[in-house]
Structure 1
Amino acid sequence: MSITKSALLLIDIQDGLDELDYYGGQRNNPDAEGNCRKILDLFRAKAWPIFHIQHNSTNADSPLHPSKPGNQIKSIVAPLANEPVIGKSVNSAFIGTDLKNRLDAQNITDLIIVGLTTEHCVSTTARMAANMGY
């Protein structure tokens, strides 16, 4: 019997994604932040591993550029001091980051992946995670 160990990845839950004009209209998941918070609360209560992923756009005009207020992680899921924040600049949380090393160091086998842009960074990260065996 193999033992699984899960971690939560919160992907790009940032203030800038509220700038609907920049991103082309209404979101299809208006309750996402609240649902992400419920999952985050469960992981915190169980002291299970949590990783916040923050998109740091390289486009200076993007609301998610590090120089913009929209780069901030939304307060509803703001990381605690002991919860790592991993910055990325592409769709996948694995490219150009040490996420895989961190997961492997904690013997993580399963990932719960949540976020606001399911059709972009969440799905890309989930597909790569599956390809890596998570």
Structure 2
Amino acid sequence: MFTGPMEDRLAIRELHEVYGDGVVRFDAETWGSVWADDADWDFMGMTLKGREAIVETWLGAMSNFDAVSFSCVPASIEVNGDTATSRVQTQEVLKGKDGSTRMIGGLYTDELEKRGGQWVYTKRAFQIVAEYNPAEEPA
């Protein structure tokens, strides 16, 4: 569902796109800019608290890859004043430093707040919906 002022929904959509741009370019400053200082991230079984810990963990995870293609499609953005929730479907192709390739379809569920006139993630939870690894296919 998409509810709330169009201007806020567009700003949140652009926040998702900035997140993806940071991933593709391995740019921690861009990627980290979308998080509130006190944000929570539920990622792959870990619960991370605060932007600093979130960015540090992301840098560690990204160090395993030579390249990442990341795209996202908002499935829902619901704005209520200066808070919002969203769901975002993702498609990722990951080229590992070990030569492996993985394709992942994921889903983020988000809580956001407008702080200082800017939307930021206060909580993100990620789950893998589907995954394909060509190396796992039978010969």
Global fold match (TM > 0.5): no
Could you say which structure has the higher helix fraction?
Answer: 1
Q: From the two aligned structures, give the one with the greater strand fraction.
A: 2
Q: TM-score by structure 1 length?
A: 0.31
Which one has a bigger Cα radius of gyration? 2
Give TM-score, length-normalised by structure 2: 0.30
